[in-house]
Structure 1
Amino acid sequence: MSLVIASQFDADFNEALARHPSRPVIVEAAADEPWASAQDADVLLVMPSPTWKRRPAPRPDPWPGRLQWVYSGSAGIDFYPEWLLDAPLVTCGRGVASEEIADYVIAAIYAQAKDLDAATVRSREEWGPKALGQVAGTTIGIVGLGAIGSAVARRGLALGAHVAAVRRSGMQPGVTGVELVATLAELASRSDHIILALPSTAQTRNLVDAEFLSRVRPGAHLVNVARGAILDQEALLDALDAGRLGFATLDVTEPEPLPAGHRLYTHPKVRLTPHISSNYLRVRHRLLEKVLDDLSRYLRGERPSDIVDPARGY
């Protein structure tokens, strides 16, 4: 009997998934209650759509019922209710977009360091020497050294920057040349560019707060490509207004989108983008390849990749 997969993804993705050699049966997960489709499926393929936040559901009864596997197309699982993790197996799309997100981070670092718009001349009278910042020789501090943080680290080292990192596990970095530092305070005080690339969990909510921001070196640049909930946005605005922090590049906020008129839209020391660093449409094929490979592993009785630990929340 074919495996039944309830999917939140688009028709083209689902058609490609249906061509897997096992010929799974693909059903479209209900747009308003994607979790309801799990009662008639073996696998639930989910994505962080607004439905999960807009219509938070109480734990279905029964749950997980027939369901054997929940597969999140995103690396983060903070969009979903906690009961979703009670499925026998939960995996995620970790690593699919890490290279794209790392490119975004490096682009943000260079945009801040070189600021070619400010250096552009538009008349003969403006012609003259202008000082540009540097990347080589600066320190890039990374909070979280998973797939995204490691991809940023490799790029930073290749550009001649010193790369330091804090990671929750305390394990040695998998990237040669990265210095592992003991505390967030030390990282904050030493970094020219501070990159947030860690999961959003109950433990990391508002991890970057007024205390952290009080320790940053003057003119430092903060880049958040993780989740908005990790950063205390009011503390960020206070630090920018007081001149303790030089600039912030934010691809994520809390909530998303921000309410109309929020100060982050127009603050002169903030570059705000609408959660696009993953460049999803360009890497969608990588997610498909990952799902197909994990499906093959699962059907052979092997462990699929990137199993989520419910206790850690990632």
Structure 2
Amino acid sequence: MSLIIASQLEADFNRSLARHPSNPILIDVADDEPWSAASEADILLVRPSPAWRQPVSPRPDIWPGRLKWVYSASAGIDFYPDWLLDAPLVTCGRGVASEEIADYVIAAIYAYAKNLEGVTARSRAQWVPVPLGRVSGTTIGIIGLGAIGTAVARRGVALGAQVVAVRRSGVQTGIAGVQLVADLETLMAEADHIVVAVPATPHTRHLVNDGLLARVKPGTHLINVARGSVIDQDALIRSLDAGQLGFATLDVTEPEPLPEGHALYSHPRVRLTPHISSNHMLVRHRLLEKIQDDLSRFVRGESPSDVVDRARGY
């Protein structure tokens, strides 16, 4: 019998997935209660839609139903309720958008270092020498060396920057030119650009706080492409206002979107983008390839890639 896959993704994506050699049956899932598909599907392909944020507690009686596998199109699973992990198998789309996000990070680093818009001459009076910042020779610090952090590290080394990083496992990177440092305090003190790329878990909530921000060099640039909860936003504003932290590029916030009138919208030392660094619709083909490969493994009785560890939360 063909596997039944219930999917929250776009109709075109589902039609392409249905052409997998295993001939799965694809069912479109309504966004209001996507978990209800557990009664009829073997695999549930989910995305972080608003329905998952609604208070559905305790766990729905139907869950996990007949499901054998839940596949999150996003890399992070923090958007979903804890009971999602009660499914027999949960995997995620880790790595699909890492190259796009790394490009965003490098663009942000150059935008801050060179500030071409700020030094553009629009009159003869503005035709004056202005020193530009540098990227080569500076230090990029990366908090978290998963798929995103690794992609950033490779780019940083190629650009002539020194790259330092911390990672939970402590395992060496295998990337020439990347140095692991002992702790976050050391990284914060050494880096000119700090890239936050860790998953959102209870352990990483407000990981970047007043204590860590007090250690940065004046003028340091902080870039968050992880989750808004990893940074204490009040502490961030205090550091910016005190002139300690030089600038912040934020693609994520807590909550999303921020309420109207929030200080981060108008802060002169903040660049705020609406969670777009993944460029996710333009890398849908990569997600499709990843799911197709994982489906082939599953059909063969093998473990798919990027199984979520319930204890770690990612």
Partner AA of 1:39 in structure 2: S
Corresponding residue for residue 172 of structure 1: 172
**Structure 2 match to 1:296:** 296
Instruction: Extract unaligned runs of 5+ from structure 2.
Output: none
Give 1:57 shift: 4.6
Which shows bigger deviation, 176-185 or 264-273? 176-185
Secondary structure of the equivalent of 2:58? coil
Q: Is 1:71 equivalent to 2:93 in the alignment?
A: no
Query: Aligned letter for 2:208?
Result: V
Instruction: Note if contact 1:150-1:174 (Cα within 8 Å) is conserved in structure 2.
Output: no
TM-score if structure 2 supplies the norm length?
Answer: 0.98
TM-score under structure 1 normalisation? 0.98
Partner of 1:93: 93
State how many pairs are aligned: 314
- Secondary structure of 2:65's counterpart equals coil
Distance 2:57 2:15 in 1: 28
CA distance in 1, matches of 2:47, 2:294: 17
SS at match of 2:140: strand
- Bigger drift between 60-69 and 183-192 goes to 60-69
Tell me the distance in 2 between the aligned counterparts of 1:219 and 1:256: 27
Which stretch has the larger CA shift, 118-127 or 151-160? Answer: 118-127
Aligned residue number for residue 183 of structure 1: 183
One-letter code of the match for 1:131?
P
Residue equivalent to 2:312: 312
1:18 Cα shift? 0.8
Residues 235-250 of structure 1 aligned to structure 2 (within 5 Å): 235-250=235-250
Superposition CA RMSD, Å: 0.9
Counterpart AA for 1:179: Q
Task: Give yes or no for contact 2:31–2:49 (8 Å, CA) kept in 1.
Answer: no
Name the counterpart of 2:119.
119
Give the SS at the match of 2:297: helix
Does the C-alpha gap of structure 1 residues 262 and 238 become closer, same or farther in structure 2, counting only changes over 3 Å? same
1:38, 1:65 → 2: CA distance?
5
Q: Find the residue that maps to 2:5 and give its secondary structure.
A: strand
Amino acid at match of 2:41: A
The CA distance in 1 between the partners of 2:37 and 2:257, in whole Å, is 28
Q: 1:62 Cα deviation (Å)? A: 4.2
The ranges of structure 1 where at least 4 consecutive aligned residues each deviate by more than 4 angstroms after the TM superposition are none
Partner of 1:286: 286
Q: Offset of 1:65 from its aligned partner?
A: 2.0
The alignment status of 1:228 with 2:228, answered yes or no, reads yes
Letter in 2 for 1:77: I
